[in-house]
Amino acid sequence: MIRESSAIVKKIRELNVEDEVLKALGGVRGACEFKEVGFDRLTKAQKKLVLMANEAKEKAYNPYSKFYVGASLLTESNRMFPGCNIENASYGLANCAERTAIFKAVSEGFTLFKSLAIVTRGENFEVEEPTAPCGACRQVINEFSSLAGKDIEILLANTKMNKIVVTSIRELIPLSFGPSDLGIELSQYKR
């Protein structure tokens, strides 16, 4: 993904219309280059969040995919909510770890979030490249970014904690559809 994005930017540069095109795309460079950091460079809260996601993945109810996903959510009030993937024999009813964590937090009275960490592994293999949230989860995270009126940080880590990508929901879902498109006023839901 990073390589592809760089290739697009390179191509735009070759076309010699860089500024014009990048401006039209709304700063594609910022949207495509993800920051990779070492575990040691994370803040204390980020480390805690990533480790909680790593632990949460072991709780996965995953008889079908055998894929373990853990997420942990940090609220504005510094509460942390872990979540795991929960599958179902009907397959389509599976719920992702990210949404489990978010729904847990909302049901406990918290709707303002700062950061979300995700860690995954396969049944018999470690994940080398950090796993990004699926489209459905991006849309759900985007809802709460709209509610808060600010971006939500997304931390993606592999199991060995030697590859960590720091990105944000605005980077992961540009030109998103959200409450403002419907002219909905959300302030009464800020908790």
Binding site for Zn ion (CB under 5 A): 96, 134, 137
Q: Which residues pair with 72 in a beta bridge?
A: 82, 117
The 3-state secondary structure of 66-128, one letter per residue? CCEEEEEEEECCCCEEEEECECCCCCCCCECHHHHHHHHHHHCCCCCEEEEEEEEECCCCECC
CA distance 99 to 140: 7
CB 140 to Zn ion: min, Å? 8
Has 98 been annotated as catalytic?
A: yes
Q: Which of 87, 98, 143, 153 is catalytic?
A: 98
- CB nearer to Zn ion: give 22 or 86: 86
- H or E segment and range at residue 56: helix 44-56
Give 137 or 164: the residue with its C-beta nearer to Zn ion.
137
Rg over CA atoms, the chain: 17
Least separation in angstroms between CB 133 and Zn ion: 5
Q: Which residue number, 64 or 190, has a Cβ lying nearer to Zn ion?
A: 64
**By the 8 A CB rule, do 119 and 155 touch?**
no
Least Cβ distance, residue 112 to Zn ion (angstroms): 21
Supply the minimum distance, in Å, between the C-beta of residue 54 and Zn ion.
Answer: 17
Q: Which helix (H) or strand (E) holds 35?
A: strand 35-37
Is 157 in a helix, a strand, or coil? Answer: strand
Query: CA-CA distance, 177 to 44, in Å (whole number)?
Result: 33
List, by residue number, the catalytic residues.
98
